[in-house]
Amino acid sequence: MSKSKAIQEDSLASAWITPFVQHGGPRYLQIADMLERALSDGSLRPGDRLPPQRRLAALFQIDLTTVTRAYDEAKRRNLLEGQGARGTYVAAPKVELTQMLDLSMNIPPPPAGVDFDDLLKQGVAQVLMRTDSDLLMSYHLGGGGKADRAAGAVWLAPMFDHVEAEQVVACPGAQAALAALILTLSRPGDSILTEPAVYPGLRSAAGLLNRKTIVVETDADGMLPDALEKAGRKHRARLVYLNPTLQNPTAHTMPVARRLAITQVAIRCGMHIIEDDPYWLLASDAPPPLAHYAPGNVSYIATLSKCLAPGLRMAYALVPDAQLRERFVQALRSFSLMATPLTTALATQWIHDGSAHALLAGVRSEADARQDVIRTILTGTSHPRSDGIHVWFSLPSYWTSRELADTARAQGVAVTASDAFHTSKPPNAIRISLGSIRDRARLASALKKLSLLLAHKPVLHQEFVI
CATH numbers and ranges of domains, the chain: 2-90 (1.10.10.10), 101-107+358-455 (3.90.1150.10), 135-353 (3.40.640.10)
Helix axes 401-410, 440-454, angle to 10 degrees: 130
pLDDT value of residue 460:
63
Amino acid at 433: S
pLDDT value of residue 99:
72
pLDDT value of residue 461:
53
In the predicted structure, residue 385 carries a pLDDT above the cut 70: no
Instruction: Please tell me which residue, 424 or 449, carries the higher pLDDT value.
Output: 449
How many whole angstroms from its chain centre is CA 53? 35
pLDDT value of residue 87:
83
How many whole angstroms from its chain centre is CA 403? 25
In the predicted structure, residue 324 carries a pLDDT above the cut 90: yes
- Residue 295: pLDDT band with limits 50, 70, 90: very high
- Residue 446: pLDDT band with limits 50, 70, 90: very high
**CA nearest to 264, candidates 252, 255, 273:** 273
Question: What tens digit of pLDDT does each residue of 214-245 get?
Answer: 999 999 999 999 999 999 999 999 999 999 99
Question: What tens digit of pLDDT does each residue of 351-366 get?
Answer: 999 999 999 999 999 9
pLDDT value of residue 8:
47
Question: What tens digit of pLDDT does each residue of 33-86 get?
Answer: 888 888 877 788 888 888 888 888 888 889 999 989 988 888 888 888 888 777
SS3 55: helix
pLDDT value of residue 466:
59
pLDDT value of residue 35:
86
Lowest mean pLDDT among 156-160, 328-332, 436-440: 436-440
For range 200-215, the mean pLDDT: 95
Give the Cα separation of 37 and 48 in Å (integer). Answer: 15
Give the Cα separation of 453 and 400 in Å (integer). Answer: 12
SS3 346: helix
Give the Cα separation of 332 and 354 in Å (integer). Answer: 28
pLDDT value of residue 465:
54
In the predicted structure, residue 464 carries a pLDDT above the cut 80: no
DSSP secondary structure code for residue 182 in this structure: H
Lowest mean pLDDT among 68-72, 340-344, 457-461: 457-461
In the predicted structure, residue 30 carries a pLDDT above the cut 90: no
DSSP secondary structure code for residue 308 in this structure: T
Question: What tens digit of pLDDT does each residue of 137-174 get?
Answer: 998 878 999 999 999 999 999 999 899 999 999 999 99
What share of the chain in percent tops pLDDT 70?
Answer: 93
Task: Round the average pLDDT of the chain to a whole number and report it.
Answer: 90
pLDDT value of residue 3:
45
In the predicted structure, residue 126 carries a pLDDT above the cut 70: yes
DSSP secondary structure code for residue 459 in this structure: P
DSSP secondary structure code for residue 287 in this structure: P
Lowest mean pLDDT among 104-108, 252-256, 288-292, 377-381: 377-381
pLDDT value of residue 45:
84
pLDDT value of residue 211:
97
Strands 88-90 and 80-82: antiparallel
- CB 436, CB 420: distance < 8 Å: no
pLDDT value of residue 311:
95
In the predicted structure, residue 2 carries a pLDDT above the cut 60: no
Question: What tens digit of pLDDT does each residue of 386-420 get?
Answer: 799 999 999 999 999 999 999 999 999 999 999 99
Beta bridge mates, 80? 90
What share of the chain in percent tops pLDDT 90?
Answer: 67
pLDDT value of residue 288:
97
pLDDT value of residue 46:
85
In the predicted structure, residue 94 carries a pLDDT above the cut 80: no
Lowest mean pLDDT among 89-93, 198-202, 429-433, 445-449: 89-93
- CB 266, CB 273: distance < 8 Å: yes
